[in-house]
Amino acid sequence: MSELNLVLLGPPGAGKGTQAERLVDDFGLPYYATGNILREAIAEGTELGRQAAPLVEQGKLVPDDLICGVIAERLDSGEADDGFLLDGFPRTIGQAEMLAGALESRGRSLTAALLIDAPDDEVIRRLSGRRQCVKAGHVYHVESDPPRNEGVCDQDGSRLIQRDDDKPETVRKRLAVYHEQTEPLVDWYAERGLLRRFDGTRTPEEVHSRIRATLATLALEAEI
Ligand code: AP5
């Protein structure tokens, strides 16, 4: 299959991380989720984490130059030379321009921006019941996707916790930030012929099979 350079786009709680787990299994792509990278940096107390912590806690975006540096490092590491899956980046037009420029300067381009969409009320319901494992960030929902044993990850046995920024008032702030700063990317990618839309209110299995079908078509087109 030809190189797959993908970004996942969509509001908080639309199911980007849920689908990313499945796509990484399908295609073996290196996966970079900027939210996970920032939460790890905060937990480790690095300089990046120190700068990001108050912003993430309030549901605001960290500055473009800070997060763009993180992604540029990953692109330069060599491990993303045959493709990648980005989740949570880009989140502003400035970040999208940085990514396009960084790829172009390496003779590469984005394959597609995969938009998983869901309405605000559904997102609020999902995030209030989300639980994640402390070891690898595997995602569950207390009602729609509970673990076999309460509070324990099915995949690695680690403890499940609620994210600090999943408190209702922070979720509302994150949604407002999404509509104001990230949603303009939907038109930006559509204008460039890169946008592929998926209805995030369908079941995780349905969303997954639709994304897989789209990626199979894109891969075939690239080989013609
Ligand atoms: P980040 O971690 O990226 O959070 P987010 O974009 O708000 O996305 P989420 O992880 O909340 O949701 P998701 O779409 O992955 O949903 P999930 O699959 O878990 O960012 C956090 C913070 O970091 C930001 O607020 C910002 O401060 C900072 N940051 C990160 N990147 C940045 C950047 N580029 N620039 C600046 N700042 C940045 O699913 C949610 C729940 O729903 C789960 O419980 C799941 O089980 C359930 N679910 C999933 N799919 C379905 C389905 N189809 N049906 C029913 N339930 C479902």
Say yes or no to pLDDT of 24 above 90.
Answer: yes
Share of residues in the chain with pLDDT > 70 (%):
99
Average pLDDT over residues 33-40: 95
Q: Whose CA is nearest to atom 37 of ligand 1?
A: 61
pLDDT of residue 93: 98
Atom number of ligand 1 nearest to Cα 177: 25
Q: Tokens 């912003």 map to which residue?
A: 55
DSSP-assigned states of every residue in the chain: ---EEEEEE-STTSSHHHHHHHHHHHH---EEEHHHHHHHHHHHT-HHHHHHHHHHHHTPPPPHHHHHHHHHHHHHTSTTTTEEEEES---SHHHHHHHHHHHHHTT----EEEEEE--HHHHHHHHHTEEEETTT--EEETTTB--SSTTB-TTT-PBEE--GGGSHHHHHHHHHHIIIIITHHHHHHHHTT-EEEEETTS-HHHHHHHHHHHHHHHHHHHH-
Say yes or no to pLDDT of 56 above 70.
Answer: yes
Q: Is 172 marked active-site?
A: no
Say yes or no to pLDDT of 31 above 80.
Answer: yes
pLDDT of residue 224: 59
pLDDT digits (tens, 9 = 90+) for 134-173: 998 899 999 989 999 999 999 999 999 999 999 999 999 9
Q: Is 163 marked active-site?
A: yes
**How far, in Å, is the centroid of ligand 1 from the Cα of 160?**
16
Q: Is 22 marked active-site?
A: no
pLDDT of residue 3: 87
Helix axes of 47-58 and 64-76: crossing angle, nearest 10 degrees = 130
Active-site pick, 39, 91, 196, 210: 91
Say yes or no to pLDDT of 1 above 90.
Answer: no
**How far, in Å, is the centroid of ligand 1 from the Cα of 139?**
10
Q: Whose CA is nearest to atom 23 of ligand 1?
A: 35
Average pLDDT over residues 38-60: 96
Mutate which of 22, 61, 205 to test ligand 1's pocket (most atoms within 8 Å of Cβ)? 61
pLDDT of residue 103: 95
